[in-house]
Amino acid sequence: MTVRNKLLAVLCGLTFSAITLASDEAGLAAVRDLGRLNGQTLACGQKDTAAWVRVLMLTHAPKTRVYGEAYEEGTQETFAAHGRGTPCPTPTELAARLEAVTQRLKAALPVPGQVPQGHSTSETVPNTIVPRYLLQDPNGRAVTNEDFLGRFQLVTFGYTSCPDVCPTTLQEMKEVLKHLGDKAAQLQPIFITVDPERDSAQVLREYTSAFDSRILGLRGSEALTRRAAGEFRVRYEKVRDPAAPPESYTVDHSAGMILLGPDGRTAVRFAYATPARQIAERIGALMQEESQRLPMQRR
């Protein structure tokens, strides 16, 4: 090897080391800030945000002592600050901080299984967004959009006191599962309540189970529910009668079902009252297309 080549190799090595060091520093800084957010949520009793913080830590942070210490240092720092009288942030401020640190973590500490970018299939996709959400199942377990990567998701929004649209939609969802037969194992049906104030975990569990035990009911705080609806481009708002008691209201919301592909991207939006057999046939065709595509990717 010539002197020139040796110098180039050394310079390349130094450059690579500098890049690696910068990446490590960015990752540690993001994890430390995640710990600070954890300290805030613990001190302020924000259970929903605290659950999401734990998911982010488990998913993105390397399982090493240095990252664990950075997280603990950040947690203790803000928890102690609140003990000295630092005020709690508003839910909106917490949501903004959570979003910011999430993006930093994903940039600095990408993980295997992260939703791939630029993926395309022969199916015409109405939009290519990846709806993200953090909610809880009826057992209080934190559930995110990343939990179902590799499976299709059929998602609808509604509430258990809904007089007509929601029960009709869940009945259709039940029929879709029936028509799919064995293929239904590749699909996770999800019902997200837009009325977490009245739809407790127990109420939600009993409601979805009355249609089909495979339908997963999810709920969250008002802030996290609003965020999830926004990700799916679903609109909802409470409608009150001025003469009625405060707890008596309906919720006007977008109807229909949204199908996400195994990569978590929106694949199809089914309009309200689309026949269940038609929905099942479309989903079955997409499943078949997916099964044919995977062997080609492995070649």
User: 244: Cβ–Cβ under 8 A, 6 or more apart, which residues?
Assistant: none
Question: What one-character-per-residue DSSP string does 139-171 give?
Answer: TS-EEEGGGGTTSEEEEEEE-TT-SSHHHHHHH
Domain boundaries, the chain: 3-108, 134-298
Separation in Å, CA 255 to CA 134, 249, 260, 261: 21, 18, 16, 20
Average pLDDT in the chain = 81
CATH homologous superfamily of 134-298: Glutaredoxin (3.40.30.10)
Q: How confident is the model at residue 178 (pLDDT cuts 50, 70, 90)?
A: very high
- Report percent pLDDT > 70 for the chain: 82
Cα gap 137→144, rounded to integer Å: 10
DSSP state of 5: H
Per-residue pLDDT of 88-107, as tens digits, reads 888 788 778 888 888 888 78
pLDDT tops 80 at residue 15: no
Q: What pLDDT, on the 0 to 100 scale, is given for residue 125? A: 42
Q: What pLDDT, on the 0 to 100 scale, is given for residue 215? A: 98
Q: How confident is the model at residue 59 (pLDDT cuts 50, 70, 90)?
A: low
pLDDT tops 70 at residue 299: no
Q: What pLDDT, on the 0 to 100 scale, is given for residue 203? A: 96
Cα gap 39→136, rounded to integer Å: 21
pLDDT tops 90 at residue 114: no
Residue with the two structure tokens 């492995």:
298
Per-residue pLDDT of 191-237, as tens digits, reads 999 999 999 999 999 999 999 999 999 999 999 999 999 999 899 99
Q: How far apart are the first and last CA of the chain?
A: 38
Among 198, 191, 192, CA closest to 249: 198
Per-residue pLDDT of 256-289, as tens digits, reads 999 999 999 988 999 888 899 999 999 999 999 8
Task: Give the Cα-Cα-Cα angle 70, 72, 76 (nearest 5 degrees).
Answer: 120
Q: What pLDDT, on the 0 to 100 scale, is given for residue 57? A: 77
Which of the pair, 276 or 46, is modelled with greater confidence?
276
Hey, what amino acid is at 212?
Answer: D
pTM to 2 decimals?
Answer: 0.59
The helix or strand, by DSSP H or E, that contains position 267, with its residue range, turns out to be: strand 266-270
- Report percent pLDDT > 90 for the chain: 43
Cα gap 26→107, rounded to integer Å: 9
Hey, what amino acid is at 137?
Answer: D
Q: What pLDDT, on the 0 to 100 scale, is given for residue 256? A: 92
Separation in Å, CA 110 to CA 36, 59, 102: 21, 9, 11
Q: What pLDDT, on the 0 to 100 scale, is given for residue 279? A: 94
Cα gap 276→176, rounded to integer Å: 5
pLDDT tops 70 at residue 181: yes
Q: What pLDDT, on the 0 to 100 scale, is given for residue 110? A: 66
The sign of the dihedral angle between the CA atoms of 45, 48, 54, 60 is negative
Hey, what amino acid is at 128?
Answer: T
Among 154, 44, 102, 116, CA closest to 293: 116
CB half-sphere exposure, 128, CA atoms < 13 A: 9
Q: What pLDDT, on the 0 to 100 scale, is given for residue 297? A: 52
Cα gap 58→158, rounded to integer Å: 30
